[in-house]
Structure 1
Amino acid sequence: MKKTYSLLLIIIFSLVVTSCFKDRDDDFQHASTIEIQDFIYNAMQTFYLYKADKPVLANNSFSSTNERNQYLNGFNTPEELFADLLSSQDRFSFLVDNYIELEQAFNGTTTNNGMEFGLVQLQSTGEIFGYVRYVLPNTSASQNNLERGMIFNRVDDQVLTENNFNQLLSSNNYSIGLASFENGILTPLDETISLTKQEYTENPVFIAKTLTIEGQKIGYLMYNGFRQNFDSELNNAFADFKADGIQDLVIDVRYNSGGSIETCNDLASMVTGQFNGELFITQVYNDNFDDFERDFNNKISTDESINSLNLSKVYILTTGSSASASELLISGLMPYVDVKQIGTTTVGKFQGSTTLYDSNNFRRNGDNLNLNHTYALQPLILKSVNANGFTDYVNGLNPTIEVNEDYSNLGELGDPNESLLKAAIDDIFGNGRPSGRTQPLEIKNIGESKMYNATYQRMYVETK
């Protein structure tokens, strides 16, 4: 029998109000540390997925209020308390001291210079370099003619190292020093480019086009974030695919670190359509709540009808930057259609979270919201289980066809000759699989531009 949310869970998972509060600095009474820590403890005790791992979160862990306050007062900051409450198997829960910035990030609004990059290290020499993955339109990067595939190894004239890259690349203004990378050799170049970050809202539907190859229509979607406020744009892309009569579909989530579970559910329903009302995933919570079954559906968050393709096979391109909702898309579709995963192994995040605020029911717009601080939690509260019972893929999802990106020749995204897309097209036409790795094993991925975002590798709950 299908389980349902408890009344409390329905209330808590109501759509978060995303408009920002006005600046209330003058109104703040500046909540005490113990006040904030009391909120953090209550929220974790109620919702934390791994509550059972922490005896201190048990409902009967304290015999009196004084004993509980003594525990809370043992921590100097909210951050210290939060760290103490985390399970050793939790890699993703976090605490913020400014939830307004977090809400903006969930809508795709960040401070951004438009250069989306990856960072890698040559294991033979220890050298670190960045490579441009793609460039966002109408940004400092696009105005300065940055292009996918460009290599850089210096920031503000300092060579990138394991100790400085975080500090250098998190700045609002910096210059990059270009380099070349050929035959495993990194060579600095004289050219530098200055970049400036500004507030920017990224449309995650980066490329959506129909390729015609040997008379066959193939849809290609590069999708860079599961953002519910762009559901209409995503649905419109599928309307175009449907009108074009595509026979095969390639979804590129190689740089997609996740986002909304609801949007992922909708995207899976766009790919298919023939499974409306059948189980997509089960959301499993701690013992305080019933599990929740999420079905394939025919409406997006705006109540528009989903443009479904009724496909029985889909190609999904992944890398080690594909996380959470990107992995959920693969897992949720696997019991129903032939999923051909091409690229490299994903991150391994099957858990979801939600934002909890200091109010009577932990909602942003709930009664008695504490206006004297802007702390909020984003704890793991659920794990996803597909219709076949598959979950706990802590080591990531392995590709059907393994192809690495070649940093010395990344190719153009959406070009049929780009290595990952070419592997999908070759499989569509039965031209055989690639012979193996295209990237030397001695190169290690160490970071990317999105790791500076509050929503990095997050999968979270929203409702319509």
Structure 2
Amino acid sequence: MKKNLILLLWTALLFIGCSKNDDNTYSAPKDLAAQDFMWKASNYWYFWQDDVPNLADDRFASDEEYTAFLESDADAGDFFDNQLRFTEDRFTFYSPDYEEFTNILSGITKNNGLNFGLILLDGDLLVGYVRYIIPGSDAASKQIFRGNYFTEVDGQRLDTNNYIDLLYGENDTYTLTMADYVNDEFTSNGLEVMLTKEENFQENPVYITNTLDVNGTKIGYIFYRRFTDGFEDELNAAIGQLQAQGITELVLDLRYNPGGRVSSAVALASMIYGTNTNELFVRQRWNPKRQAGFSTSSLEENFINQIEGGEAINSLGLSRVYVLTTDRSASASE
């Protein structure tokens, strides 16, 4: 199983003795510190380490050759993508800000609550569409909903040249010009929506919990956005709500869930399936270098019967579950 590689790369900072060829005397120039760290951490932890020639233990014959390799890309993110990334790896990304990264793992971001996608029209024009709105956010209090379209930001028509500055720039507040799709065209409907990003906004990943009665069958539905640490209480309460309503089928919506904590995945599986702590849920698989260093028991995680803090798990005891996914469902979602 692929653990959260990004977290492991940061964790690798704490380890000593994982440099090239076990040579601890090499000290990279300060301007190459990020690249040096990436190579050492990836050589030690990366799941596909033995599939990437540049990560081989005997890749470099000298410090000079290693230094020249680190200099191959001045940008640390480009260095990982061009020199270290396995071709089939779609999960790993470079984050230069440790605090921002750890906040993301806890669901804390600077956010206005709008999750959107972009459609490329003829030429370089773009249209935005709303995937979903985060509950409790600024967007949740405005007249903007899933499935809506927008064509302008702060009065400027969206295109391939300006969308990054307009939607991902330093501006904490922007105004969207909303549009309708009529007769194969996107036209403004006269509605403008102003959104403001909130600093340190914490997202509750349990977005929606519903029960549907379909031809006498009670079907539960949960939209779960991320396997975020610290929200097992909310997830357990949502499952308890479905349990109290007597559901016999469950639809788990992970369409926009990029993954997260394995411990949260274990908790959710136990809530859905069962709480037999002697039954295996997952067996971890690391790269060959690291796999041999773990005992069998340390690589196995069983179902659990209580969440952190000691509260008993509400378990539905279902033998099947219907899972909605997209190409945005990854990592722990898989």
Q: Same fold per TM (> 0.5)?
A: yes
**Is structure 2 residue 114 aligned with structure 1 residue 115?**
yes
Structure 2 CA distance, aligned partners of 1:39 and 1:85?
A: 12
Deviations 1:104-127 (A, max 9, x none): 1111111111222233345x7875
Q: Secondary structure at the match of 1:81?
A: helix
Identify unmatched segments of 5+ residues in structure 2.
1-7, 13-28, 293-298
Counterpart of 1:41?
39
Cα drift, residue 191 of structure 1 = 2.2
Counterpart of 1:194?
194
Counterpart of 2:282?
281
The verdict on how the C-alpha distance between 1:74 and 1:323 changes in structure 2, with shifts beyond 3 A counting, is closer
Counterpart of 2:85?
86
Q: Which residue, 146, 149, 159 being the options, matches 2:147? A: 149
Counterpart of 2:96?
97
Equivalent positions of 1:293-312 (< 5 A) are 293-312=300-319
Cα drift, residue 205 of structure 1 = 0.7
Counterpart of 2:254?
253
Structure 1 CA distance, aligned partners of 2:41 and 2:324?
A: 37
Structure 2 CA distance, aligned partners of 1:167 and 1:324?
A: 30
Q: Which residue, 51, 54, 58 being the options, matches 1:53? A: 51
Structure 2 CA distance, aligned partners of 1:68 and 1:320?
A: 36
Letter of the 1:145 counterpart: Q
**Is structure 2 residue 127 aligned with structure 1 residue 129?**
yes
Cα drift, residue 269 of structure 1 = 1.7
Kept after mapping to 2: 8 A contact 1:218/1:249:
yes
Kept after mapping to 2: 8 A contact 1:144/1:193:
yes
**Is structure 2 residue 322 aligned with structure 1 residue 315?**
yes
Cα drift, residue 74 of structure 1 = 4.8
- Which shifted more, 141-150 or 224-233? 141-150
Equivalent positions of 1:268-417 (< 5 A) are 268-273=269-274, 276-290=277-291, 292-326=299-333, 328=334
Q: Secondary structure at the match of 2:270?
A: helix
Deviations 1:339-391 (A, max 9, x none): xxxxxxxxxxxxxxxxxxxxxxxxxxxxxxxxxxxxxxxxxxxxxxxxxxxxx
Structure 1 CA distance, aligned partners of 2:268 and 2:99?
A: 27
Structure 2 CA distance, aligned partners of 1:44 and 1:208?
A: 39
The verdict on how the C-alpha distance between 1:236 and 1:187 changes in structure 2, with shifts beyond 3 A counting, is same
Q: Secondary structure at the match of 1:208?
A: strand
Letter of the 2:127 counterpart: F
Counterpart of 2:238?
237
Cα drift, residue 213 of structure 1 = 4.3
Counterpart of 2:222?
221
Kept after mapping to 2: 8 A contact 1:208/1:219:
yes
Structure 1 CA distance, aligned partners of 2:106 and 2:163?
A: 27
Identify unmatched segments of 5+ residues in structure 1.
1-8, 14-30, 329-464
Kept after mapping to 2: 8 A contact 1:255/1:321:
yes
Deviations 1:154-190 (A, max 9, x none): 1122222233323321132211111102454322222
Which structure ranks higher in relative contact order (CA pairs < 8 Å, sequence separation ≥ 6)? 1
Deviations 1:433-457 (A, max 9, x none): xxxxxxxxxxxxxxxxxxxxxxxxx
Structure 1 CA distance, aligned partners of 2:93 and 2:241?
A: 38
Q: Secondary structure at the match of 2:40?
A: helix
Cα drift, residue 192 of structure 1 = 1.7
Q: Superposition RMSD on alpha carbons, in Å? A: 2.7
The verdict on how the C-alpha distance between 1:218 and 1:42 changes in structure 2, with shifts beyond 3 A counting, is same
Number of positions where the alignment pairs a residue of Structure 1 with one of Structure 2: 299
Counterpart of 1:178?
178
Kept after mapping to 2: 8 A contact 1:266/1:296:
yes
Q: Secondary structure at the match of 2:42?
A: helix
Q: Secondary structure at the match of 2:147?
A: coil
Cα drift, residue 82 of structure 1 = 2.6
Counterpart of 1:337?
none
Letter of the 2:316 counterpart: L
Structure 2 CA distance, aligned partners of 1:115 and 1:70?
A: 43
Letter of the 2:288 counterpart: D
TM-score with structure 1 length normalisation?
0.58
TM-score with structure 2 length normalisation?
0.79
Structure 2 CA distance, aligned partners of 1:127 and 1:263?
A: 41
Structure 2 CA distance, aligned partners of 1:303 and 1:58?
A: 44
Share of identical aligned residues, percent?
39
Cα drift, residue 285 of structure 1 = 1.6
Letter of the 1:308 counterpart: S
Kept after mapping to 2: 8 A contact 1:269/1:276:
no
Q: Secondary structure at the match of 1:218?
A: strand
Deviations 1:296-322 (A, max 9, x none): 333334443322111122122233433
Structure 2 CA distance, aligned partners of 1:125 and 1:301?
A: 53
Deviations 1:126-172 (A, max 9, x none): 75322223333443323333233322111122222233323321132
Cα drift, residue 63 of structure 1 = 3.4
The verdict on how the C-alpha distance between 1:48 and 1:191 changes in structure 2, with shifts beyond 3 A counting, is same
Structure 1 CA distance, aligned partners of 2:35 and 2:179?
A: 48
